[in-house]
Structure 1
Amino acid sequence: MGTIRIHVLHCGNLNFDEAAAFHENTLHPMPYSGILRSKRHQINVPASAYLIEHPKGLILIDTGWHTDIRIDQKKYLGWLYSLSSKAYLPSGQAIHEQLHKLGYRTSDIDYLFISHLHPDHVSGLKLVKDAKKVLTSSIELRDTKKHPLLYLPFMWRDVNLETFDFENAEYDLFGDRSVVFVNTPGHTNGMASTLVQNNGKFVLLCADTGYSKKSWEEMILPGMLTNNKKAMESLKWVKQMSEKPNCIEVIANHDPNVEPHIIEF
């Protein structure tokens, strides 16, 4: 196979309580909400997306924030999300703006994959809704009804959002294992990490399985979970993958230590 190139993009950022990223044992019932917590617990993290230039097609993973947050964030996200976090989208960082800078139209995207449907991952979807195929897992879409407070369905309303089923916890996009969506449940039940493989090496885009490198190095779960046991199993898998000699990088979506860059292999 030819060369694969991955563009690591920051499509805005967000401020929230550090307990949302790194689980804390505390008397506070919901420390990740930031309510009744000091501002010193606030952290700033990127909302990442990934453009994969693959010999078999152009693939976009997640979308970051929509430009509407620049206008009226409280109206766009609602009071609950605006209470627990603050979103920012500097000029030029919206996903369609970044694609344009790279020389692409949004309609050039062959596959747009949403790792999970939380707002910071799917907000920018309508900016790239003319991608040829928009995908998320069937488990994830189904769980938006089971856990309605965690999702904002207007973000994908009127978009031709298709679903796929995992087979043995995987969905092999091209059938050659070069791009595999791996179910890593815990943060959400239908969340998938993206495993990109070529020439005997791989890159793992682990979504919110962990919030930074220290998550799997120190085995710290995210603060918001749907299933603690599955979350720990998923994080252990990420750790194991990170230790393989043919691993180029493992990247968490919100790692503040990861700068925009290009991986080519």
Structure 2
Amino acid sequence: MIDKSKIKIHILRTGLVKLDKALPFHGQSRNPLAFTGLFRSEVNQLILPVSSYLIEHPKGLVLIDTGWHTNIRQGNWQELGLQTKINKGYLPANWAVNEQINRFGYSTSDIDLVLMSHLHSDHASGLELVKEAKKIMVSSEEWNIANKLPLVYLPGEWKNINIGTYEYNRQGIGAFNRYYDVFGDGSLLQLYTPGHTSGMSATLVKDIDKKYIILAADTGYTKES
């Protein structure tokens, strides 16, 4: 049962991803292919957390990103194909997004809205696990590019899933001065944060006391980046 008097944010670890450090810290490498990990030693590999967020909001239950699909447990090739050359996913037991939502006493059909920060595989792989959500949305910029770059994105991850788009139709907030107001009251904003992908969003959550938290997705992996 959602408490109508407050907003609660639950941090979900929905997997791990192993990749070459040149991907998040690309500015530190002169090798233009370093991010692929090809011909690079194991010492350059990092394991980073994959995060999703479950927001209990007075206007509905909101999920930000989906992490890895349970298919990744059977092997990376089945889920990622050639992308395994760049990154590898891990999903420990009970870490799948639907498994964690169930632990909070919800089912995936209870989710009012899934907001995708972007559609890279470590964020979108689990879309099928939450396809019963009432609505799934991503920015139109991200949607358009994600369906044109099949080697960078894996459109099969959202095949037969109903995904809507939104426009960054307001100005005045965020480094790029564009945002989408999810509920129309300033309490949940999708901020335009291009860079990691051209249509990526960070989520700003604000309570009635004007205090806020920004869920920054892959805008920065660590304090260093």
**TM-score scaled to structure 2, two decimals?**
0.92
2:18 aligned with 1:15, yes or no? yes
Aligned partners of 2:147 and 2:158: how far apart in 1?
Answer: 14
1:62 Cα offset (Å): 0.1
What is the match of residue 63 of structure 1? 66
Residue 29 (structure 1) shift: 1.9
Equivalent residue, structure 1, for 2:201: 192
2:105 to 103, 106, 116: 103
When residues 172 and 205 of structure 1 are mapped into structure 2, their CA distance, relative to the original with a 3 A threshold, is same
Where does structure 1 lack aligned partners over 5 or more consecutive residues? 216-265
Per-residue deviation, residues 187-240 of structure 1 (Å, max 9, x unmatched): 11110000000112000001111112232xxxxxxxxxxxxxxxxxxxxxxxxx
1:6 to 5, 9, 14: 9
Name segments (4+ residues, structure 1) moved above 6 Å: none
**C-alpha displacement of 1:12:** 0.8
Deviations 1:44-72, CA, capped at 9 Å, x for gaps = 11110000001110000000000011113
Correspondence for 1:181: 190
Task: Say if 1:96 and 1:145 are closer, same or farther in 2 by CA, change over 3 A.
Answer: closer
Quick one: higher RCO (CA 8 Å, sep 6+), 1 or 2?
A: 1
CA–CA separation in structure 2 for the residues paired with 1:2 and 1:210? 31
Partner of 1:213: 223
- Give the match for residue 132 of structure 1: 134
* Percent identity of equivalent pairs: 48
Letter in 1 for 2:53: Y
Q: TM-score, normalised by structure 1?
A: 0.78
DSSP-derived class of the 2:26 partner: coil
Three-state SS of the structure 2 residue aligned to 1:21 is coil
Larger helix fraction of residues? 1
Task: Classify 1:27/1:62 alpha carbon distance in 2 versus 1 (closer, same or farther; 3 Å).
Answer: same
CA distance in 2, matches of 1:34, 1:154: 24
Kept in 2, the 8 Å contact 1:164–1:171? The answer is yes
SS in 2 for 1:92: coil
Q: Which residue is equivalent to 1:121?
A: 123
For the residue of structure 2 that corresponds to 1:150, the secondary structure is: coil
The corresponding residue for 2:162 is 160
What letter matches 1:151 in structure 2?
Y
Aligned with 2:98: secondary structure? helix
TM superposition shift of 1:95: 0.3
CA shift, 1:36, in A, is: 0.8
How big is the alpha-carbon RMSD for the aligned residues of Structure 1 and Structure 2? 1.2
Partner of 1:38: 41
Counterpart contact for 2:110–2:133, Cα < 8 Å = yes
- The residue identity in structure 2 corresponding to 1:10 is R
